């Protein structure tokens, strides 16, 4: 298995370009199942998860190819396949987002239940509730969600659960509603920029949706959607990770293409920590002199601090000048990185959904294990500032969601390279 070797202590400086958003690209690629004619999706990052989604689409009778210019073309060739198999869904939960498009367009779906993930139980009851409200019959059989519907019918749906709204659940129900008969109102829909991007894609393809970017979506069903060209938004989580990389190393990093309007909560927290974050034409810059100040962070659905930047913020707070508290409100068990950060000399104690971080003046390099995508990014950030060498094992997690991470960091001056297995 590949690993990353990092020699810490370099202040990162310069410009880095943000890639397209993974979490916007996945449901949009799934939604191309709805479109008659060819779709050409631009600004899709070259990632393992995107390749997995292309594989899922091919299994479902969709030709999906990466073009020389980096865009991805899709065209439905055969509408008879309806199964997203365990071997693919189990490697990437995002595959569940084919469920709504399949039901809407092919009236049947057989999608493997994704199972747990490295940060705990991740239910899909809200996806099921929403699609059932549109008229689908859904059973669990032999580890698969088996769904059928004659014609989906518009209705009012409340899509909130114990942990708030659901991103991919909203995507599934939205994709079901765009071809349903009549009007669908989705209350407590997720308003993450990635859901807004999906809604923009669907509208460009001919759907009628109002309220996107808010927590109430109103959808008037249409007969058909067309193939279109569409460009994915920049990845706010990758952008946030690079801004934090600049800060944690006491350097100055400009992220070209970063959308400040998607990063308000994170930028606000970074500023509380003393990081100077500046909006630039077409991007954002972060700079920090000295140690960060401690703060309290609570992850929340958008526009709150995203859970996908919790681990990276924790890496920054591990060297803060005082005690910080991080509360995880989306995935209370998403703390596997705590023990690994502690191996690098951090002093973090987990108590229920909270982590109490006693900032230390310096981290020291060690061998650590990546447990999930964002946890891996946090370990890389910590390794960039730790004294000596840090080895991050199980890099395949990073390859799921960060495009050419080490190459981009090298351009900023980092001493990081990949040891190929
Ligand atoms: N939830 C339910 N029932 C459901 C669905 C979700 O109770 O039916 C709960 C979850 O357990 C969680 C909360 O609702 O507590 C939010 O989960 P959500 O459904 O929004 O997560 P998701 O759509 O499965 C996406 C991203 C995740 C990101 C979350 C939260 C993709 C492919 N994945 O997952 O991204 O953490 O939203 O913002 O879009 C990552 O990129 O590293 C990643 C894990």
The pTM (predicted TM-score) of the whole model is: 0.98
CA of 213 to the centre of ligand 1 (A): 17
Assess whether pLDDT exceeds 90 at residue 117: no
Which pLDDT band holds residue 220 (cuts at 50, 70, 90)?
very high
Ligand 1 probe mutation, 330, 370, 372, 399, most atoms within 8 A of CB: 330
Catalytic residue among 35, 39, 117, 191: 117
Which pLDDT band holds residue 362 (cuts at 50, 70, 90)?
very high
Q: Which of 259, 288, 263, 262 is nearest to 274 (CA)?
A: 288
The Cα 44–Cα 196 span in angstroms is 16
- The confidence score (pLDDT) of residue 268 equals 98
The whole-number average pLDDT for the span 178-192 is 98
Q: What is the mean pLDDT of the chain?
A: 96
Q: Is 374 in the pocket of ligand 1 (CB under 6 A)?
A: yes
Assess whether pLDDT exceeds 90 at residue 337: yes
- Token representation of residue 342: 């502690």
Residue with CA at minimum distance from ligand 1 atom 16: 166
Q: What is the percent of the chain where pLDDT is above 70?
A: 99
Same fold, 2-19+234-420 and 22-231: yes
C-alpha dihedral sign at 233, 237, 242, 243: positive
Residue with CA at minimum distance from ligand 1 atom 2: 123
Ligand 1 atom at minimal distance to the Cα of residue 120: 11
Q: In terms of CATH, what superfamily is 22-231?
A: Enolpyruvate transferase domain (3.65.10.10)
Q: Which of 114, 138, 118 is nearest to 128 (CA)?
A: 138
Tell me the pLDDT tens digit for each residue of 258-272: 999 999 999 999 999
Residue with CA at minimum distance from ligand 1 atom 9: 163
C-alpha dihedral sign at 143, 149, 152, 158: negative
- The confidence score (pLDDT) of residue 126 equals 97
The whole-number average pLDDT for the span 186-198 is 98
- The confidence score (pLDDT) of residue 118 equals 73
Assess whether pLDDT exceeds 70 at residue 116: no
Residue with CA at minimum distance from ligand 1 atom 35: 308
The Cα 291–Cα 247 span in angstroms is 9
The whole-number average pLDDT for the span 211-233 is 96
What is residue 42's three-state secondary structure? strand
Core vs surface per residue 74-111: b (16+ CB within 10 A) or e: bbbeeeeebbbebebbeebbbbbbbbbbbbbbbbebbb
Q: Which of 277-281, 288-292, 352-356, 370-374 has the lowest mean pLDDT?
A: 370-374
The Cα 196–Cα 193 span in angstroms is 5
The whole-number average pLDDT for the span 312-340 is 97
Rounded to a whole number of angstroms, the CA Rg of the chain reads 21
Which pLDDT band holds residue 228 (cuts at 50, 70, 90)?
very high
CA of 420 to the centre of ligand 1 (A): 31
117 catalytic per annotation: yes
Q: Which of 323, 309, 317 is nearest to 288 (CA)?
A: 317
- The confidence score (pLDDT) of residue 405 equals 96
Q: Dihedral, CA atoms, 241, 301, 225, 157, nearest 10 degrees? A: 170
Q: In terms of CATH, what superfamily is 2-19+234-420?
A: Enolpyruvate transferase domain (3.65.10.10)
- The confidence score (pLDDT) of residue 421 equals 77
- Which residues lie across from 226 on neighbouring strands? 36
Which pLDDT band holds residue 201 (cuts at 50, 70, 90)?
very high
Q: Is 307 in the pocket of ligand 1 (CB under 6 A)?
A: yes
Q: Which of 407, 5, 418, 70 is nearest to 242 (CA)?
A: 407
Tell me the pLDDT tens digit for each residue of 160-175: 999 999 999 999 999 9
The Cα 24–Cα 234 span in angstroms is 9
Domain ranges, ordered by start, for the chain: 2-19+234-420, 22-231
Q: What is the percent of the chain where pLDDT is above 90?
A: 95
Tell me the pLDDT tens digit for each residue of 370-383: 889 999 999 999 99
Tell me the pLDDT tens digit for each residue of 404-419: 999 999 999 999 999 9
């Amino acid at each position: 298995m590949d690993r990353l070797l990092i020699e810490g202590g370099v202040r990162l400086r310069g410009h880095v370009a943000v890639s397209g958003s993974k979490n916007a690209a996945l449901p949009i690629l799934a939604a191309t199942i709805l479109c008659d004619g060819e779709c050409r999706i631009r600004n899709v990052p070259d990632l393992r998860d995107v390749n997995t989604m292309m594989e899922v689409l091919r299994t479902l009778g969709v030709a999906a190819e990466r073009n020389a210019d980096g865009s991805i073309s899709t065209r439905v060739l055969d509408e008879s396949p309806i199964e997203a198999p365990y071997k693919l869904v189990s490697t990437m939960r995002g595959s569940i987002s084919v469920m709504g498009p399949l039901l809407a367009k092919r009236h049947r779906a057989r999608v493997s239940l994704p199972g747990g993930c490295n940060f705990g139980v991740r239910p899909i009851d809200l996806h099921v509730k929403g699609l059932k409200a549109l008229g689908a019959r859904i059973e669990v059989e032999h580890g698969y969600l088996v769904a059928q519907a004659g014609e989906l019918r518009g209705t009012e749906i409340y899509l909130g659960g114990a942990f708030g709204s659901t991103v991919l659940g909203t995507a599934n129900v939205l994709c079901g509603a765009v071809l349903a008969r009549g009007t669908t109102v989705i209350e407590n829909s997720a308003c993450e920029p990635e859901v807004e991007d999906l809604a923009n894609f669907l509208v460009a393809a001919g759907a009628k949706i109002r309220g996107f970017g808010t927590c109430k979506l109103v959808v008037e069903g249409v007969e058909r959607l067309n193939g279109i060209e569409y460009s994915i938004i920049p990845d706010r989580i990758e952008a946030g990770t690079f801004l934090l990389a600049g800060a944690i190393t006491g350097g100055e990093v400009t992220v070209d293409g970063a959308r400040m309007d998607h990063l308000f909560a994170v930028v606000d927290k970074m500023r509380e920590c003393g990081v100077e974050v500046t909006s630039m034409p077409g991007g954002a810059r972060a700079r920090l002199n000295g140690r960060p100040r401690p703060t309290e962070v609570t992850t929340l659905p958008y526009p709150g601090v995203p859970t996908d930047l919790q681990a990276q913020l924790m890496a920054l707070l591990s060297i803060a000048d005082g005690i910080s508290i991080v509360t995880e409100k989306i995935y209370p068990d998403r703390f596997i990185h705590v023990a690994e950060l502690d191996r690098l000399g951090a002093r973090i104690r987990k108590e229920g959904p909270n982590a109490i971080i006693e900032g230390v003046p310096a981290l020291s390099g060690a061998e650590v294990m990546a447990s999930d995508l964002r946890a891996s990014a946090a370990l890389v950030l910590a390794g960039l500032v730790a004294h000596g060498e840090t080895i991050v094992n199980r890099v395949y997690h990073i390859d799921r969601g960060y495009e050419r991470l080490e190459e981009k960091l090298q351009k900023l001056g980092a001493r990081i390279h990949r040891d190929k297995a």
